[in-house]
Structure 1
């Protein structure tokens, strides 16, 4: 069971709810992965709505590790998300909203420009 007051959300895998939370350590991991130097810059990076599949993997993996699961990004990439790609995107957005607040609605990722 997740606790929204602690910033927790759930990732659904084969009908099982795995808790996710972006702890300070998980946020530092994402700052490094996205090459930003502050939490506001990280939040702005996510609000842009231009998230790649790799971004979604990093966000979900950091959230799972923040909640105590020992898992590598490569393992997250191989998971079968309930709802497929849309389920993974919704889980990542829900985690970001739980962490950064819901003041500004998150937009779905845009496909890269060719």
Structure 2
């Protein structure tokens, strides 16, 4: 089970639940993958609903990698994600929110 206070989100792929977390390394990989703007630009796209499926995929891969998953974007392209595209987008948005929410 994911710990939201540690910035974790659960993403279920092919019936298996995986922990996701945007670690510093995962965020660096995410920036390199997106190659457009900054993380603030990405956050703005999610805040305004202007995010792309590429944004969702990149965030999910980064979060999965931060949680210890060793797959690739290509692996995620063929995976059955619980909740479909909406579930993936919700997980991606939660990852961003939890990564940048201060913990008291």
Q: TM-score, normalised by structure 2?
A: 0.81
By how many angstroms is 1:15 displaced? 4.1
By how many angstroms is 1:43 displaced? 3.1
Structure 1 residue runs of 5 or longer lacking an equivalent are 102-114
Show the counterpart of 1:34. 34
Structure 2 residue runs of 5 or longer lacking an equivalent are none
Give the paired residue count.
102
Query: How large is the RMSD of aligned CA atoms in angstroms?
Result: 2.2
In the aligned structure 2, how far is the partner of 1:21 from the partner of 1:46?
17
Show the counterpart of 1:8. 8
Evaluate the alpha carbon distance shift between residue 38 and residue 58 of structure 1 in structure 2; reply closer, same or farther with a 3 A threshold.
closer
Show the counterpart of 1:97. 97
CA contact (8 A) 2:34 2:58 kept: no
By how many angstroms is 1:100 displaced? 2.2
Question: Where is the helix percentage greater, Structure 1 or Structure 2?
Answer: 2
Show the counterpart of 1:22. 22
Show the counterpart of 2:47. 47
Q: TM-score, normalised by structure 1?
A: 0.75
In the aligned structure 2, how far is the partner of 1:62 from the partner of 1:44?
18
Rg larger for: 1
